[in-house]
Chains A and B, each alone.
Chain A
Amino acid sequence: MSFTFRKDEAKGVVVLGVDGQLIVGNRHELKQKVLDALDDGERKFLIDFTSTGYIDSSGLGVLVSLSKKIREVSGELRLAGLNDDLRTLFELTKLDSLFAINESAEEALAAF
């Protein structure tokens, strides 16, 4: 498991990729990366799940709390690259209604 981190300069978007799982053992790492970027003044975030295996409820919880924090500073968070299984998790928990979800990272970037 690892996270990738890059900045799309054209759109001013921080793009985080979740490579592996987003679960109880590593969720804080993702959270801290986003919080650090918020402290640095970043406001637009894309989390790309194209290379993600599975997410647990702790991972979903971190996304919920990040979503709130980003909204509080008038920022924007988009999720992309969810396969059918991952999308099912968001639908079961009704979190699909809370997040802006795009099919691909490219589509999400275009939507900022």
Chain B
Amino acid sequence: MTAPLRLSVRRSEVPPPEAPDRRIEISLRVPTDLGVVEEAVDLVARHCLASGIPPRAARFRLRVALCEALSNAIVYGNRMDPAKRVDVTVVVTDTTVSVQVRDEGDGFDPSGIPDPTSPERLEMAEGRGLFLIRQLVDEVRFNERGNSICMILHRA
């Protein structure tokens, strides 16, 4: 049996000159292993709570959205390749919490995901991840390649 994988967190509390309203930046490198998703989500949520974002947002919306983004990155992005990693960067400012999840895959076209709430798809077991993310956070952005998602929660 392999030893439990450790997650590394970098926490910077001094805002850089170019982003004076930045309070905290958390960086996390997550292995391609579905078994560590819960631990990674808890770690990020705890650090966000410590920075003072509303508990409900951190506890629920952020946790579910990050859980979805990590699973997508591991399963569809890195295709379960243990040699690959997922990088998570969380930036908490006075007004927003932004969570970026980047995998090492080829990317995908987020506009090509069908609506999982349509009657013909309602009883499908898969296909709700990105839909839930879009519903739970205030803004969702992708990079051009489609291997990095940025989820933004407004703190107000």
Answer whether residue A25 sits at the interface, using C-beta atoms and an 8 A cutoff: yes
Q: Residues 53-68 of chain A: 1 if any B CB is under 8 Å from the residue's CB, otherwise 0?
A: 1111110111011011
Which chain B residues border A64 with CB–CB below 8 Å? Answer: 123-125
Chain B, interface residues (CB within 8 Å), range: 20 to 34
Give the chain B neighbours of A57 by CB distance below 8 A.
68, 71, 126-129, 131-132
Interface SS of B by simple majority: helix
A95 interfacial by beta-carbon distance below 8 Å: yes
- Tell me the complex Cα distance, A23–B129, Å: 11
What separation, in Å, do the CA atoms of A65 and B131 have in the docked complex? 19
Q: Which of A21-37 contact B (CB under 8 A)?
A: 21, 23-26
- Chain B residues contacting A93 (CB-CB under 8 Å) are 116-117, 128, 131-132
Within 8 Å by CB of B129, from A56, A89, A97, lies A56
CA distance A53 to B67 in the complex (A): 12
A55 to B41 Cα, complex, angstroms: 12
Residues of A within 8 A of B14 (CB): none
Q: List 19 A-B contacts (CB under 8 A).
A: A23-B67, A24-B34, A24-B67, A25-B34, A25-B38, A53-B59, A53-B63, A54-B59, A54-B60, A54-B63, A60-B128, A61-B126, A64-B124, A65-B125, A85-B60, A92-B131, A93-B131, A94-B117, A94-B122
**Chain A interface (Cβ < 8 Å from any Cβ of B):** 1, 21, 23-26, 53-58, 60-62, 64-65, 67-68, 85, 89, 92-95, 97-98
Known: A24-B75, A93-B131. 19 other contacts (CB 8 A): A21-B38, A21-B67, A23-B38, A24-B34, A24-B67, A54-B60, A54-B63, A56-B68, A56-B71, A56-B129, A57-B71, A57-B131, A58-B71, A64-B123, A65-B125, A67-B123, A85-B59, A92-B131, A97-B122
